[in-house]
Amino acid sequence: MAASGTLSTFRLPPLPTIREIIKLFRLQAVKQLSQNFLLDLRLTDKIVRKAGDLTNAYVYEVGPGPGGITRSILNANVTELLVVEKDSRFIPGLQMLSDAAPGKLRIVHGDVLTYKIERAFPESLKRRWEDDPPNVHIIGNLPFSVSTPLIIKWLENVSCKDGPFVYGRTQMTLTFQKEVAERLTASTGSKQRSRLSVMAQYLCNVQHILTIPGRAFVPKPEVDVGVVHFTPLTRPRIEQPFKLVERVVQNAFQFRRKYCYRGLGMLFPEVQRVESTEKLLQLADVDPTLRPSQLSVSHFKSLCDVYRKMCDEDPHLFTYNFREELKQNKSKNQERENDKERSRR
């Protein structure tokens, strides 16, 4: 340890390369789990630098795999790095890193989708939501198969200020397929504008900070990879419950090539669909002939606010499921057909 009052800089001792670790422990990427290893430490260092100043930070890394980004995080002079890895094959290699960085690396063999991080770091790190972000960061090279459900889960956590966000406006730096990264950051009217764009942007400042060519990964994925940085907003751009916003946005983008009234109509039962959809759009002051991709976050704010009032007036409205109604109608039609067939006999 450095003397009190001086800054100590930690560097990992010489270690086998990531490629050597993969050979040593006979690791192979599992295609079904969409695993891709990033072996170039210059690139992992770049990802970590893009996450911001990690000096004395507490970092939660998801999906560390053989430990490429893990090394770069440890070399960024963090106070503690917590890694959660589901695949037991990677634990011995991560343990080697832990032995090389005494007291700095904590390994959890578990699933990021269910792991509870609320009590993982000291209470003293917590900041008020209105304050600057806490010195807590989430970083990860996510398997493509879990990246979208995981970011949706974390966005709901942002909305509720729980999970990783009990500490405050925890920043996230995560990898996605380039196409998903472009959706997350897509502006109003762009071809990539989607449900993900709105759900991320109403809660966070979202930046596509880096694109990594697929050839940098082993095995090489069919697509390039985008690195996206999220900083939760002090105040969401839509102040309604997450599930309500998600419901409105999902329905709007259901028929993305049609006018927005088509998808938004699915919020309402068939018998009142035309009337209620017109009411929703009129009160929200939204042009029914806009395409879903042309709807801004402000448009969605108005739509969600009006839809909330309509749900308050009719509590059954929020539980309505047009697919369930469609299924019931098909079943009734089938029964009628069967009755007709029996009557002919």
Q: Which residues line the annotated binding site for S-adenosyl-L-methionine?
A: 36, 38, 63, 85, 111, 141
Count how many residues are written for the chain.
345
Task: Tell which residue, 80, 122, 125, 126, has the closest CA to residue 104.
Answer: 80
Residue numbers in the known binding site are: 36, 38, 63, 85, 111, 141
Cβ atoms within 10 Å of 289's Cβ, excluding its own: 11
Amino acid residing at 247: R
- Distance (Å, whole) CA 150 – CA 147: 5
Structural contact between residues 78 and 58, judged by C-beta atoms closer than 8 angstroms = yes
Residue 309, phi then psi, degrees to nearest 5: -65, -40
CA 129 – CA 141 distance, rounded (Å): 27
